[in-house]
Chain A
């Protein structure tokens, strides 16, 4: 007998929102655009309140509603607001916007299930919900060749990685005899444990885009629509991180000594290769795709540091670093990506030359982009700096100094390509290259993102406190 729990409330709200969106789209057709946009924004905000309300509901075998759940659900929901606004601009002349928004909301429902899972079964189901809606959304712009290529790539690799994870979970079942998280291992099951860790880590590597599982990222970023790339970078990647944290921090907590070094290696590879590959690109979209790989590498430093030790203050620092950098990534990557789409909109492509003279053409717009870039570089006083600060600190604290040094080298390399964009923005514009027109809601969004990037870095104490309470929930 299943009983109602307050924890279901956000899911109920969001599913109701999906139905409302679909019905509105069906009835109003051409006139539905503004309606569904406002309804979706409303639903996202309402769900956020429901999440806060439902936090602290009773823990069951399958679900727990703690700070981890509320934090990552909120990150997913609020970052989806960026997607809504970008899609509002992008799909203004197309029908079916309601369908797109419904898929977005459905992905968020999946994200909330991931964040609240207390068992591998709902965890996997929740993440599949995110994945499948993501494939559908990438395929939304099916008319272009590159769009079709992107959707096929993400679907095939996504399905493959899900299969690998399921295979790994079956190994976990073999090693413990249950799907409950953090279950004690059965005697003489070491080889099964290693197999489970290796398979699940490989699948997770695909999901969060770590080297050597990163090949889909650059192609999907340059092929998919702008709202979709925003979704992939800002929202769905955060749900993937929640998924990975659930798998390893909670699910396989007691085997941390085995996976910590694995993740340290993946982080080192991602930071080096991601940054070096980005240096060689001339297209800003591809630079950003590779920099996403590097940024994922920085976040995984925290995973490695968390696993390397049982010392609770190191684990707190690692979680603080992870959480700050995840939030920073939403803000800074969101701002830079959206700004890049504005450039694509105005000048037809994201070649680095198209950024020439932006500071002269539209100083406010260029400043928001510059703050995003500085935050990605990790220059204070931005949130990107605070995130890196805690991540490197946790690595040094956990005796992974070599990893911190690799992170430092990667960071220094990244100055080159971010600095290149910045340099070209400050140059004098060529004649006849035209004005930059920015859709007003998008400009406001950009300003908001860059202000948050600066403000939160000063008030990061609150984030650190949330991280401390998350760390105390983990076994």
Chain B
């Protein structure tokens, strides 16, 4: 078995250098800033290099160990079946690259922070390691550790640098997601107990094929609670608007761009990928009666989470709160794609995660810029108006990203949405059948609402008459608009050439669909 060190470097560099950023940055905050920027730039470049070298040149799966590239594993607590194993496949690698890019963008956009900078950048680096670790862990114990470790820096980021209601938001975020993760942990224990007393994912995948479908369905619901709370979907979404609104804008960007994706990733990795080799009575789990019930229920949850937050977003006055509700709505589309359970559905759902991971951080950062440039530091849609006159670039970027989020053709969001919708109609056994056809129809119709709140916000914030709030506004600085330009270009590129990642995702979903 070959061990690759590449992922370890990617995983450990930030967390190790976080300590130095804190120690050397305490007296001279500039050093902390530079260390964070250099580390994240390097990991970004490195991850892109890994992506190009290991994923682009066609089929490199002959280098794979247990189906994973860049595999590394070593014993950790062998008597309890716990190992330290990392590796990447077509699902996790795009998310890892996305993680590095979003962190780079967020760190550059954090330059406005002047309070306790050393601590801020150290926490960002710890958070980077934890998020990266969640995506690359191949051992459920390691996965859970990384998953929980994310909470700690995020709690402090919201609590120290957040808005006026930050204390409430930080503790609510912490309690909600911690409770959900512990329920998920019980689900992980059931997996461990039923599938041969190991936490190593590839082994579990083989062993779980013999577990009866009733147990698998119990396990599904336990881990589903854990993932869907992070995701988040109605009715466990209430922490999200608070946390997103109160977090500092770079924190919101990371929350929306990556922490939500952890939920989606977990959902795809643990039930969908893990159950893919089940074959009892000639059908895999998600095609059996248990699986069909599950798919209908998650489709309904996804539909409700798509439609209901969209209406809430329509009446929001706070720009960030509106974007937060639109995030829930978009994650509903991911869940619908999973419920369709065909190749196109899964691929489009993953594509949605990447598209949303690019677009929503951009929108949150824009909301942050608007907040910093208005007179009373407000994000109220009512009070801010006519931004295009004073800050044309910011206004233009906002229009572009809002359209991308609303699903305008040619931009990243559209590809994913259309893919999910086609996949749902295509699922003639279940969602496309005459009993449930109303689900995809309603989903398609609700896109109107999404377009509605974005257009209305654009009209009022960007194009109306100038209000006194933006009298003194000056064009955004390079480190404010630069990151958003990068994200906007990515949104455009991924909208025009979806093939850049689509086929990697497609290969992955083809491997788990019977």
Interface residues in chain A, defined as those with a beta carbon under 8 Å from any beta carbon in chain B: 313, 317, 320, 363, 374, 377, 379-381, 385, 389-390, 392-393, 396-397, 401, 404-405, 408-409, 411-412, 415-416, 419-420, 422-423, 426, 460-461, 464-465, 468
User: Would you give the shortest CB distance from B168 to chain A, in whole angstroms?
Assistant: 10
Decide: B152 and A461 in contact? CB cutoff 8 A.
no
B167 within 8 A of A: yes
Q: Are A411 and B182 in contact (CB under 8 A)?
A: yes
Check B149 against A380 for contact (C-beta < 8 Å): yes
Residues of A within 8 A of B193 (CB): 396-397
- B156, A416: Cβ atoms closer than 8 Å: no
Contacts of A408 in B (CB 8 A): 179, 182-183, 185-186
Q: Are A389 and B185 in contact (CB under 8 A)?
A: yes
The reply to whether A461 and B78 form a contact with Cβ atoms under 8 Å apart is yes
Which residue of the partner chain A has the closest CB to B170? Answer: A423
A381 CB to closest chain B CB (Å) equals 6
In the complex the two chains form, is A426's CB within 8 Å of B159's CB?
yes
A407 → B minimal CB distance (Å): 8
Residue contact A415 to B175, C-beta cutoff 8 Å: yes
Q: Which of B178, B179, B189 contacts A396 (CB 8 A)?
A: B189
Q: State the Cβ distance, B494 to closest chain A Cβ, in Å.
A: 34
* 8 interchain pairs, CB-CB under 8 A: A380-B144, A393-B192, A396-B189, A404-B189, A412-B175, A420-B171, A460-B77, A461-B77
Q: Which residue of A lies closest to B76 (CB)?
A: A461
**Smallest beta-carbon distance B123→chain A, Å:** 11
Closest to B149 in A: A380
Contact (Cβ within 8 A) A405 B78 = no
Q: Given A415-B174, A419-B171, A464-B79, are A392 and B179 also a contact pair (CB < 8 Å)?
A: no
**B174: contacting residue among A313, A390, A392, A419, CB under 8 A:** A419
Do residues B171 and A416 form an inter-chain contact, with CB atoms below 8 A?
yes
Is B427 an interface position by the 8 A CB rule?
A: no
| Beta-carbon contact of B175 and A464 below 8 Å | no
In the complex, are the beta carbons of B148 and A392 less than 8 A apart? no
Size of the chain B interface, CB-CB below 8 angstroms? 33
Contacts of A405 in B (CB 8 A): 183, 186
B145 within 8 A of A: yes
B227 at the interface (CB under 8 A from A): no
Q: Do residues A412 and B192 form an inter-chain contact, with CB atoms below 8 A?
A: no
Interface pair A412/B79, CB less than 8 Å apart:
no
CB-contacts of B163-181 with A (<8 A):
167, 170-171, 174-175, 178-179
Residues of A with C-beta under 8 A to B174: 415, 419
Q: Which of chain B's residues has its CB closest to A374's CB?
A: B152
Tell me, rounded to whole Å, the shortest Cβ–Cβ distance linking B423 to chain A. 35
Given contact pairs A423-B170, A426-B159, A411 touches B189 in the complex (Cβ within 8 A): no
Answer yes or no: B160 CB below 8 A from chain A CBs. yes
Contact status A392-B152, CB under 8 Å = no
Tell me if B393 counts as interface (CB < 8 A to partner A). no
B179 nearest in chain A by CB position: A412
CA distance A390 to B81 in the complex (A): 12
- B52 beta carbon closer than 8 Å to chain A: no
| Complex-state Cα separation, A52 to B141, whole angstroms | 33
Q: Which residue of A lies closest to B190 (CB)?
A: A396
Q: Does B155 contact A (CB under 8 A)?
A: yes
Is there a chain A Cβ closer than 8 Å to B80's Cβ?
yes
Task: State whether the Cβ of B18 lies closer than 8 Å to any Cβ in chain A.
Answer: no
* Minimum Cβ distance to chain B for residue A238 (Å): 23
Contacts of B151 in A (CB 8 A): 379
Q: Across the interface, which residues of A come within 8 angstroms of B76, CB to CB?
A: 461
- Whether A426 contacts B160 by the Cβ 8 Å rule is yes
Known: A389-B185, A412-B182. A381 touches B145 (CB 8 A): yes
Is the beta-carbon distance between A468 and B79 smaller than 8 angstroms?
yes
Contact partners of B175 in chain A: CB under 8 A: 412, 415-416, 419
Residues of chain B contacted by A385 (CB below 8 angstroms): 145, 148
Q: B80's contact among A411, A412, A423, A464, by CB below 8 Å, is which?
A: A464
B159:A401 contact, CB within 8 angstroms: no
How far, in Å, is B154 (CB) from chain A's closest CB?
12
